Amino acid sequence: MRKICLLLTVLVFGFSCGPSPQTKEEQGQAEGSLFIIGGGSRPNALVNHMIDEAGLRDGGYAVILPMSSSVPDSAIIWASEQFFHNGIENVTGFNFLHDTQPDSQWLDSIRQANLVYISGGDQNRFMGVAGDTEIEEAIHDAYNRGAMIAGTSAGAAVMSQLMITGNELRYPEYSPTFRTIESENIELAPGLGLIQTAIIDQHFIWRNRHNRLLTAVIENPDLYGIGIDESTALLVRGNEAEVTGISQVMVFQNPDNSYQEKNGKLGARNLLVDIYLPGETFSLD
């Protein structure tokens, strides 16, 4: 990992750069945490839980990445207001542009942040800007160093190694949920890979997105399917996940690698479904 000390970062955020800690992410032992919000409204209790877990009340700062949004400047303002309302003023936002060399000072600010927050919008738009770039590397560097990486809606979808794009391959006209459980219908694309053992879905119970996550685990039986409802988050530390907020998290598994297909329709046997309530925990092993 490069060691970068930028005068601007020191002046703005009031700390100096030291040697970068060794990366543990390759061993699945990144020092940071994830706060994965299923979209919808964000109650103050949920925002405060994120702030406290990120250690922002003890200093440091948050960086908002709005590239999922079609109105990125507004996304920065809206997200910042929730931080301000809950007592955190040291917040900034960086709107990186597609096919534009990332600003090195912005990248270093991401690496040294306590919290990196990814807005809602379109996960494909975000990965189109950040995927396979120094931006993605900086997010991983922050996570390895001990930062919290948070995101809502599209910002939740990008957390997994394989990301649900929202597109149906058989039915190109957009629908907020899948109408069927069919083979070769779900489109998956590379996400940030902060979670490598699961596929994340969002707005889950409120928008009845069971069909597409069932499709995902039938066709990708080695992965958990995690559906996070609105106004609810999954706090991940290492391989342990805790539900927080006001609704539920559903987890689908296909432990027998069951897969059947007939005339394009998918079938499976002995799938597992767990519904977790706020305060409950489960393992991502």
Has 153 been annotated as catalytic? yes
HSE-CB at 48 with a 13 A cutoff on CA atoms is 6
Q: Which helix (H) or strand (E) holds 255?
A: none
- Identified catalytic residue from 33, 69, 119, 153: 153
Strand ranges inside 79-203, DSSP E: 91-93, 115-118, 148-152, 162-168, 186-190, 198-202
What is the C-alpha to C-alpha distance for residues 18 and 9, in angstroms, rounded to an integer? 13
Which residue in the block uniquely carries the two structure tokens 């979670």? 195
DSSP state letters, 64-109: EE-TTSSSHHHHHHHHHHHHHHTT---EEE----TTSPPPHHHHHH
Has 104 been annotated as catalytic? no
The total number of residues shown for the chain amounts to: 285
Nearest alpha carbon to residue 160 among 195, 186, 125: 195
Beta strand 265-267 with 240-245: parallel, antiparallel or unpaired?
Answer: unpaired
Has 283 been annotated as catalytic? no
- Identified catalytic residue from 136, 182, 219, 230: 182
**Which residues have a Cβ under 8 Å from the Cβ of 109 and sit 6 or more positions away?**
9, 12, 13, 63, 92, 94
- Identified catalytic residue from 136, 183, 203, 230: 203
What is the C-alpha to C-alpha distance for residues 231 and 43, in angstroms, rounded to an integer? 7
Q: Which helix (H) or strand (E) holds 37?
A: strand 33-37
Write out the catalytic residue numbers: 153, 182, 203
